[in-house]
Amino acid sequence: MEGLHLEYYLVVSAVMFFAGVYGFLTRRNLLAILISIELILNSVDINFALFNRFLFPGQLEGFFFTLFAIGVSACETAVAIAIIINIYRNIRNIQVRNLGQLKD
């Protein structure tokens, strides 16, 4: 335990976060984008837990924030996947560039 500083964890979560950002920017498939978002959310969750544990050990705010964030991301994923499936039903495709067809 002695050698594990806060920074070690933060580096990991930062890498995860920007991996998510990269995916978000470059993917064209809606599901792949959603997966990237999961990465981003996850890295933020880790950060909340980390700060709570390292900097404010006596309290539980970060802990509960992470807990609720997991709940919210579950909701978000559920609804997003419902929408994606609906889109797929309509245009037989879930590529971002084809979403313009939905306007018609």
Tell me which residues in 47-76 interact with another protein (CB under 8 A): 49-50, 53-55, 57-61, 63-64, 66-68, 70-76
Q: Could you tell me the two tokens for 14? A: 């930062």
44 scored as a contact of another protein (CB under 8 A)? no
Sign of the dihedral through C-alpha 83, 87, 93, 94: negative
5 scored as a contact of another protein (CB under 8 A)? yes
Contacts with another protein in 7-36 (CB under 8 A)? 7-12, 14-29, 31-36
104 scored as a contact of another protein (CB under 8 A)? no
Binding-site residue total for another protein (CB under 8 A)? 76
**1 or 104: CB nearest another protein:** 1
Buried b (16+ CB within 10 A) or exposed e, 26-47: ebeebeebbebbebbbbbbbbb
Q: How far is the CB of 96 from another protein (least distance, A)?
A: 7
